Amino acid sequence: MKLTTLILLVTSIQLSARTFGQGININEKKAPISKVFEDIRKQTGFTFVYAESILDNAKTVSINVHNATLEEALKACFQDQPFTWSILERAIVVKLKENADPAKANATDTVPVKHYIDIHGKVTDSLGRPLSGVSVTVKGLRKGTTTDAEGNFTVLVKDERSVLVFSMIGYSAKNITVGNLQQLSITLIEASSDLNDVVITGYQNQSRRLSGSSTATVDIKSASIQPVASFDQMLQGQAPGLNVKTGSGQPGRASDVVIRGKGSINGSTDPLYIVDGIQVQARDFQSMNPMDFETVTVLKDGASEGLYGSRGANGVIVVTTKKGREGQMAVTYTGQLGFSKLPPGKLKTMSGPQHVDFEMNIAGNPYGWTPAQADSLRKINFDWETALFRSAQMQEHQLSFSGGNNKTKYFSSLSYLDQDGILLNTSLRRYTGRFNIEHTLNNFKFGTNIAGGWSKIRNVKEGNENFTPLNTILWALPYEVPYTSTGQYTVSIQGVGNWTNPFEDVNRNMGHTYYTKAYGNGFVEYKFPFIKDLTWRSNFGGDYTQTETFSITNNGTQEADHDGQNTSPMWGQGNLSQGLTKQFRYTITNSLSYKQSFGAEGQHHLNASVYHETVRTQSSGFGYTGFGLLNPYPNAAGLVAGTTTNGYIPQINNIVFTPDYGLVSFFGIVDYVYLHKLMLSGSVRRDGSSRLSPDHRWVNYGGISGAYILSEEQFLHNNPVISLLKVKASYGTVGNQEGIGDFPYLQQYASGTFGGGSSLGIAAFGNKNLKWETRTTFNTGFEIGLFKNRVTANLEYYNSVTNNLFFSLTAPATSGGPGQVLGNAGSMRNRGFEASVNLAVVHNSDFDWNIAANYSLNRNVILSLPLGQQSQLYHKYQILQVGKPFNSFYLDRFQGVDPNTGKAIYLKADGKTITNTYDPNDRVTLGTSDAPFNGGINNSLRYKTFNLSFLWVYSYGNFVYNYARTQVEIPGYSSAGFSTNGLTAWTKPGQITSFPSMNDPFKQNTTRYLENDNFWRLRNVMLTWNLPQQYCRRLKINSFQLFFQGQNLWTLFKLQAFDPEVSITNSSTTNSNADITGAQYPPLRSYSFGATINF
């Protein structure tokens, strides 16, 4: 809060000084007259108009005025000078006196003011609304003005050849040659609108109108100020085919992102992230500032993904950061304050009185309470969930600077994010900085983008972790309290072997992670003067990531006692773990590009490029776990020296010394356009990876796409209804080499012990025949625009097949190794349909209403398995079966409870017979955990200076195994926190219930805990208000905006859990969101209020 106060105070002082300062104050001695001109311009906003060379006649100026009027200041400035001056609108016109020596200025520069042309005009936006504060300058001269509150301007120019430059932050600059016009009407287009007309692939830019590939652009402008710490969460519901599950509300935690279905079983399914040409990982976004991002493009089909070859099989998300724009320096501050809280969940546990009654009447009184004791316990009802979760504060601040001229442009920013988690003692602190600059010098253009970030995360264990506060909250007994009467942490009647106090864990046994991120690139571009339109470009990018982890279990805590009882005695005296990993990746890309138009009136356009790229990655890591925290320090100094006598010998772990992993690529791209209505594009790429054996290291990929704009044909040209009709198709192949380690073709060893001594053992078998997974995709669709694009739609169909799937194949038992070897076998298909519709319901100068909706359907099916198998068991509750989707469940079908016996009843495999005998042979293949249907609906309304937007997201058609629910419904756990469902447990004949008798043998692998995971969520609501421009002018600022927003305000779902968005973060299976283990950090319900000021 101190930082917030400081920034607001500084802002207030600046505004006060600029708004209420009276008169002109200048004190200069023997200063150049140009310096005095600049002082007057800064204090008044008046611009000086003069020919450059006449200042050669000027004398130095000594001036001392205080609280002077403009006229008084000008008289003092021009005293004893060979100039005359006059005021025209907001310009001060300076010329030589008639008796001055004109020889010192050339004939052109000394044209009298009366020969200048007086240009008037008005600047508006695309809706015809006047734009105030637009900079209007004469190119090459120090002449200019700004538009008034109605968008009007007046400026003097020398002649008809003069060029006026119109620029404003957030809009694309426009250059206009005056010609014979003296009254101009100028329309500026929002910069984001221009960017949305371009497909940015990371290697080249294409016209979206002519592109035949399947891509989507995410509107990052408004999403970037959402109070979430990881950028990937902002992508949810923004584009068809982009399936995002946040899964966790822990600050900084990355989301699960899948593009057009999962195409691998054992390899990675994560998309490739590219930021300014540099490959990064999803977790890196927690140390990046999303407000630095300019564009986000999603590449979804084989033709566009194929540009990245072996890295593009899971789709590509391309991010570009902001660049400077021509014009005076603009300073922008954005700040917001907010809070988050726990949304209501569906998994309910019993209250104190309920649990006592349950123990006494249903569960068989496990603790043997007497009636008096039970009555006493009924008076206690402690809500562990409410006490352990809190209302968490957040604040975020960013300051950015941008500007430049026609030669040099720059953008820089600083940001700070302080976000507390809703669980006690969880938080994220993040600092970032960025500097982007580019410069043009004759035929050369060069620049650099440099950024860095540092973050500290205080986190809690999630996922498949039993004794974590996120689980022990559920298992706590509601008639116990966290502290004793003396302030000590309560030890539950359950015993530390079964439960540890979550308050003690979050206060004494937490950990933290430090992330350091530095990345950037530099480029040089040269346009050959002797071969028109031939350009050479060289890019060098580097990415460095350092991760430091720390966790501690203090001696004397319940968790230490639990570890001592259940792991080994040396863990019982406290333990501490630290780790350090480093990774550096560099990318060098060289390209040669040629553009040419030919034929009559240039109806043919050709763009051809060839590339050579090298990517190298090096990683190292080290970690240890120390035992015996007997010294009074909560860090490594608290550890005692380990000896064979005391047994506190540290364990060395996380040793990573990976030799360089390299990828070398040669590729080419050709685009051809005919009459701006027919486009063909093709690419060929050859990749070589050090991950695979020399025999299978090099692979060729390629893609082709085409588009035909029918609306450009004569029979549809200028049609009053159809403004755009385009058909498109693409085909391409890509590869996947992620998620299998760096050298799986080599046999790998790990250190161990044997016979009391150190040894080496086989950790993984090598397979020299291992190949890439290969994904081939066909895509087709059409785009249509109606009523001058008031209605636009994009419909697409795709068919994608992955061959040579990575599979763990059985190795001979005599091999002496781990029993499995990674190989290629099987295939899988993803086939689907996508639609996006944009509707401008109302569109006028005072009111806008726009709706953007998207829908995705993906059908996944396994086509083949190793050795001709039709099925094989997969993880705990699932099966891989030919003809069925990946991540299909394989369970007995629970049919309820026999009212006469209280036993669970099941449906046998024949689908007809009911039995109360559980038989694993009755398991059948059921639905998948991967939702086939996903989408989003965004409404945006504007009334004058107010804007309201709200985003809905939805997902349906999948199931989740609720393992967390089993942990509070297993009859053997009735002495711990228990689900309220247990209150309906069968107790007498004739009782109708779905909860079996507490004496019935408990079976997990049934559909009793398979739940529907459909949800409909109000993801984001944002209300903004913009200060009218006439008031901004009085405050000497460009714009001022206030905003209020809310995240996850309402969710409709049935899953008995904290939240329906289940991800691999809180699942126990690879590439699966199949189950909830219980350690689920709920997504946050957040509210924030902030402001953006442009100076």
**Assigned token pair, 175:** 């250059």
Q: Which of 583, 608, 587 is nearest to 596 (CA)?
A: 608
In tens, the pLDDT along 209-222 reads: 889 999 999 888 77
Average predicted confidence (pLDDT) for the chain: 87
Give the number of C-alpha atoms closer than 13 A to the C-alpha of residue 433, restricted to the C-beta side. Answer: 4
- The residue with tokens 């009391």 is 756
Residue 213 lies in a domain: yes
Q: How far is CA 277 from CA 519, 595, 683, in A?
A: 11, 22, 18
Evaluate whether 293 touches 319 at the Cβ level (below 8 Å).
yes
Ramachandran area for residue 862 (φ above 0: left; ψ -120 to 50: alpha; else beta): beta
Residue 290 lies in a domain: yes
Q: What share of the chain is helix, strand, coil (3-state, %, to 5)?
A: 15, 50, 35
Ramachandran area for residue 161 (φ above 0: left; ψ -120 to 50: alpha; else beta): alpha
pLDDT above 60 for 453: yes
Q: CA-based diameter of the chain, in Å?
A: 119
pLDDT of res. 753: 64
**Assigned token pair, 145:** 């003005």
**Assigned token pair, 781:** 């669709």
Helix axes 371-378 and 352-361, enclosed angle (nearest 10): 160
**Assigned token pair, 586:** 């560099």
How far apart (Å, rounded) are the C-alpha atoms in residues 353 and 360? 11
How far apart (Å, rounded) are the C-alpha atoms in residues 188 and 177? 16
Residue 899 lies in a domain: no
How far apart (Å, rounded) are the C-alpha atoms in residues 338 and 152? 39
How far apart (Å, rounded) are the C-alpha atoms in residues 50 and 112? 10
How far apart (Å, rounded) are the C-alpha atoms in residues 232 and 1063? 14
How far apart (Å, rounded) are the C-alpha atoms in residues 726 and 708? 6
Element containing residue 9 per DSSP (H, E): helix 2-20
- Into how many domains does the chain fold? 2
* Amino acid letter, residue 747: Q
- The residue with tokens 């001696």 is 555
Q: Which residue has the higher pLDDT, 539 or 225?
A: 539
* DSSP-based three-state secondary structure for 151: coil
Q: Which residues pair with 854 in a beta bridge?
A: 836, 936
Evaluate whether 523 touches 537 at the Cβ level (below 8 Å).
yes
pLDDT of res. 445: 94
pLDDT of res. 107: 35
How many residues are present in the chain?
A: 1095
Domain containing residue 37: CATH number: 3.55.50.30
Q: Which residues pair with 154 in a beta bridge?
A: 120
Residue 900 lies in a domain: no
Final residue in a domain of this structure, among 275, 290, 324: 324
**Assigned token pair, 540:** 């060098």
Please state which of the ranges 45-54, 93-102, 814-823 shows the lowest mean pLDDT. 93-102
Q: Which domain holds residue 266?
A: 207-324
Please state which of the ranges 99-108, 366-375, 474-483, 593-602 shows the lowest mean pLDDT. 99-108
pLDDT of res. 946: 94
708 pLDDT tier (thresholds 50, 70, 90): very high
How far apart (Å, rounded) are the C-alpha atoms in residues 457 and 769? 42
pLDDT above 70 for 102: no
How far apart (Å, rounded) are the C-alpha atoms in residues 9 and 959? 52
Ramachandran area for residue 581 (φ above 0: left; ψ -120 to 50: alpha; else beta): beta
pLDDT above 60 for 413: yes
Residue 90 lies in a domain: yes
pLDDT above 90 for 1025: yes
How far apart (Å, rounded) are the C-alpha atoms in residues 505 and 503? 5
Count CB-CB contacts under 10 A for residue 1076. Answer: 31
Q: Which residues pair with 858 in a beta bridge?
A: 832
Domain containing residue 309: CATH number: 2.170.130.10
Q: In angstroms, how far is CA 48 from the centroid of its own chain? A: 46
Evaluate whether 333 touches 1039 at the Cβ level (below 8 Å).
no
Final residue in a domain of this structure, among 256, 289, 324: 324
Residue 650 lies in a domain: no
Evaluate whether 20 touches 14 at the Cβ level (below 8 Å).
no
Count CB-CB contacts under 10 A for residue 171. Answer: 22
Residue 53 lies in a domain: yes
pLDDT above 80 for 658: no
CA-atom Rg of the chain in angstroms: 34
Determine whether 601 is exposed, middle or buried from the number of CB atoms within 10 Å of its CB (0-12, 13-18, 19+).
exposed
Determine whether 329 is exposed, middle or buried from the number of CB atoms within 10 Å of its CB (0-12, 13-18, 19+).
exposed
- The residue with tokens 């097949």 is 801
Final residue in a domain of this structure, among 324, 339, 373: 324
**Assigned token pair, 628:** 């015996």
pLDDT of res. 582: 93
Residue 36 lies in a domain: yes
| pTM of the model as a whole | 0.83
Element containing residue 70 per DSSP (H, E): helix 70-78
**Assigned token pair, 826:** 């099987």
